[in-house]
Amino acid sequence: MVSGVGIDLVEIARIEKILARWGEAFIRRIYTVEEIDYCQKKARPSIHFAACFAVKEAFLKALGSGLSGGISFTEIATVHDSKGKPSVKLAGKAGFFLREQHLGRPAVSISHTDALATAIVVIEKRTGESGFDGE
């Protein structure tokens, strides 16, 4: 059973302006080390920073709590497997909240163009023993 769905759309030009103005201060406040490494290796990092930001926002929308639940952006990370498939890795209050609410592993899909990045996150209620462990 689906517990929550979140979607977000980010203008890449907006992220580029923020990066130009705030640079490392913005990056370190919003992204994990893993995300920073991934994005900075790309030909156009701003596209990937925008996509990771969209995942964070979509995840918070799927939870229904936003940042008001005390979850920080750096507790929500976009990671990719060896084939490039994205998933969400949680830490701190974000992982605790999923366990406490008996929610399953979030499913994520990301897409982008030269101008826009989007992400959708679906969280299901956990059934049985195969729940979410935070990683």
Task: State in Å, rounded, how far the first CA of the chain is from the last one.
Answer: 21
What's the rounded mean pLDDT across residues 65-70? 71
Kindly list the structural domains of the chain, giving each domain's residue range(s) and its CATH number in brackets, ordered by start: 2-124 (3.90.470.20)
> Active-site positions?
61, 112
pLDDT at 90: 95
What is the greatest pairwise CA distance in the chain?
Answer: 48
pLDDT, tens only, 30-42:
999 999 999 999 9
The kind and range of the H/E element at 58 are helix 45-63
Q: Copy the structure tokens of residue 84.
A: 């490039």
pTM (predicted TM-score): 0.90
Output b/e per residue, 11-33; b: 16+ Cβ within 10 A.
ebeebbebbeeeeeeebeebbbe
pLDDT at 68: 65
Helix 12-22 × helix 45-63 angle, to 10°: 110
